[in-house]
A and B are shown apart, each in its own frame.
Chain A
């Protein structure tokens, strides 16, 4: 049973560019959440997708956008990259029905470096 798969694992971009990160949830999960983890910090919630719609959003600017596809996979897009966007981006999947706080499965993340 595959866990959460994220791609790519590492990425280097230049300031001002745009980036797309991808996530395939754990089999059976229908909800995808994205987190940003800066070096030395805990993960910060970006947004959550369920039924192809953004259901919740954290305190992130509109440069951060996402999408969920019918097969539950998801993309995170970041426009006009800033140096401060350098971080580990984590995708977490869960099951909407009977949701419990410990029901997340995290991927290994995409390490984004903006230069």
Chain B
């Protein structure tokens, strides 16, 4: 079992739709939960992060973490064509031998069409 599972999609939605992206994980030591956006042939850029459980909102984006279910989500409201990219979830532990290492999902490819 991989440490982080993410449905690769692809996901195609019309402009203005609400998008839901999800990841599950198996390592209960993960405390930092990040969402990265990656455009084609570019490096990942940090979109949002959450520490431990809870919700976090930033403009059209909302990140949710449910540690009891080992499940994280990213919601995009009023999606725009410029949101078309691959979205990667990533996680890391706060301490221990793997401190400083990120574990990524395989990414979900999103296309928002006008």
Contact = CB atoms under 8 A, between A and B. Distances in A.
B98 interface: yes
Contact of B107 (A42, A102, A109): A42
B102 A45 contact: yes
A96 B99 CA distance: 10
Contacts of B44: 43, 90, 106
Interface residues of B, number: 32
A55 B100 CA distance: 10
Interface residues of A, number: 29
Nearest to B2: A42
Given A55-B100, A100-B32, A102-B34, A40 B43 contact: no
A56 B98 CA distance: 7
Given A40-B8, A40-B106, A88 B100 contact: no
Interface in A92-115: 92, 94, 96, 99-102, 104, 106-109, 111
